[in-house]
Structure 1
């Protein structure tokens, strides 16, 4: 039973947006994005041909028999393959596989050419580095509006150590222990060596997400979401960038990046050039500048109590990490392109 105090909170809460989803599909998507999910790549094969789609519609269905389900957009280029396949595999991505998620969400013709994979027991490609893999026989298919729902009977599975990749509110993230969760206090865990909280790179991720969440009230004051703010900043920094490249620059899913671009265009904050490139309008540039000023003030407030010497060390460390990672990535791309 709901307590009276809970009822008061519910009545006082003001929704960011509301309405009939049939009138605004993008609003429907944004509301659905409040429910965080994992990220999976579903694969299948038909002779020498291989197919794959990146999904976050994956869900367990039954333990006895072992069933799972997911759905595919009827407009997907791989729809015909999955609507008739006898087997498929679900590859659950780890927190280190954002690039793989983006790769299989792209419009690349042969998505398996530069990816480490091996055929599974029934021929469906199994991707390396995943934290779980399910090989399934197609148990049933059901109509799901503009999607088709596929139910698979799990015939073989594998589980590996690792942290799952999460997609929520239009961005990739990682799971973190809630401070109010029962169990070992976070402060104690942080003092132990080799724990998640004591991992330098993990702490960088944690700081990024914490600061982004804290800055969200400033974005809302400007009338933009995280996704829209990221696209705004990316187009400002890369005038002429194409829509397909925006998702990679912003670490958003392709669909969320396209939705953010459409929203900015609808508000006359962004325009498409003749060559397909994106550029901010004067109003868009002014909004970007206003958000930038808010961010600068927010940053100064957050760093006010930290000694300048500590900030200097942090900046040098982060700069080296960025340079090192960029060099390694450039070298890898050069080798793969030979």
Structure 2
């Protein structure tokens, strides 16, 4: 049978899911989703876990759904509670997502929360909560699909945290879409680069634009975003998988896949079964990548006033230090 191809776009991977579950998972990660933390309490125990399988199912009646692995230690609590809460995370809560993606038992001691109407913990700082009774469970392969009836909802100001291709992101309006809106309304609409944007949105937007430009060079190297970040962090130090996850804000699966790919190149080794370090050839490759970054940055800042650049870098460093100490 002839393959129908997408003209002009390079195929990265293609195959049958049963033959390579890892690359199939990468294919699914092309679909961007919001990030939620599902919480529940059975009266004596609490459960919380990061989930991106959440979806709206019906408005009348108000039904939502999400899925949980059958071997998950939290499944019992969600089933016993007969209710749960959907906490939709804001774009500054990647650390909360990482916290609730772990299997540690003291998650709630490290998060700010309060008790909801149905008894489930509700997280502070989110952009929306949905408190649900457990309506039904459906078998879904290695997962169970939990259907909930929304009993109470609360919406807050804020923008959502997104997850795609194994990493976090934020939503930005496309300049072209804004200009089209302006032409239809006959009224001026500010493009994302204009002064009306807050500091946070400017930082998000410039990061998105620059990262998109650099992605072309990264893809030419044949490495993923996770591999690129891991080479950078391991170039000067040894780290555990957990430490990498906390530094580069990627899913555990994405990090494991990237480490496996780097190991196949014989670019890394495990030290004392926990610590990971680059081999000699791995460090050489990391230095090569670093030089590509320097070349990209040199072209990026070409023509900028030196004093303006130094001031900008100083402000960014100050923001980083303040964010760390907050």
Name 1:151's counterpart in structure 2: 147
What are the superposed Cα offsets for residues 86-141 of structure 1, whole Å, 9 maximum, x if unpaired?
Answer: 10100000011111111111232121113211111111111111101001111111
1:27 matched to 2:17? The reply is no
Deviates more, 1:256-265 or 1:134-143: 256-265
Which of 179, 188, 191 is equivalent to 2:190?
A: 188
1:274 Cα deviation from its structure 2 partner = 1.6
Alignment partner, residue 222 of structure 1:
221
Q: Output the TM-score relative to the length of structure 1.
A: 0.88
Would the aligned equivalents of 2:91 and 2:170 in 1 still touch at CA under 8 Å? Answer: yes
Offset, 1:192: 7.0
Give the length in aligned residue pairs: 317
Listed as ranges, the matches of 1:94-109 within 5 Å are 94-109=90-105
Q: Which runs of 5+ in 1 are unaligned?
A: 1-7, 330-338
Q: Does residue 321 of structure 2 align to residue 319 of structure 1?
A: no
Partner residue of 1:251?
Answer: 249
Structure 1 residues 262 and 83: CA distance shift in structure 2, 3 A: farther
- Partners of 1:27 and 1:9 in 2: CA distance: 19
Determine the C-alpha separation between the residues in 1 that align with 2:191 and 2:207: 20
Query: What residue is the counterpart of 1:335 in the other structure?
Result: none
> Any unmatched runs of 5+ in structure 2?
none
> Aligned partners of 2:146, 2:254: CA distance in 1, in Å?
23
Given candidates 85, 103, 107, the residue that maps to 1:111 is: 107
Which of 275, 278, 286 is residue 277 of structure 1 equivalent to? 275
SS of the aligned residue for 1:317 comes to: helix
Q: CA separation in 1, counterparts of 2:246 and 2:320?
A: 17
Distance 1:134 1:222 in 2: 43
Go from structure 1 to structure 2 and tell me whether the alpha carbon gap of 1:71 and 1:191 turns closer, same or farther (over 3 Å shift). Answer: closer
Q: How far apart, CA to CA, are the structure 2 residues paired with 1:288 and 1:88?
A: 45
CA distance in 2, matches of 1:12, 1:47: 56
Q: Give me the CA root mean square deviation.
A: 2.0
C-alpha deviation, 1:278, in angstroms = 0.6
**Are residues 314 and 140 of structure 1, via their aligned partners in 2, closer, same or farther at CA, if it must alter by over 3 Å?**
same
Distance 1:210 1:118 in 2: 38
When residues 236 and 191 of structure 1 are mapped into structure 2, their CA distance, relative to the original with a 3 A threshold, is closer
Closer, same or farther in 2 for the Cα pair 1:263/1:232, shift >3 Å? same
Question: Aligned equivalents of 1:70 and 1:123: distance in 2?
Answer: 19
Between stretches 31-40 and 282-291, larger displacement belongs to: 282-291
SS at match of 1:316: helix
Equivalent in 50, 56, 69 of residue 73 of structure 1: 69
In structure 2, C-alpha distance between the alignment counterparts of 1:233 and 1:75, rounded to whole Å: 35
TM-score (norm 2): 0.91
Q: Deviations over 1:182-202 (max 9, x none)?
A: 424896255876x4xx22232
Instruction: Please give the secondary structure, in 2, of the residue aligned with 1:180.
Output: helix
Q: Which residue of 2 aligns with 1:178?
A: 174
Whole-Å separation in 1 of the counterparts to 2:7 and 2:43: 58
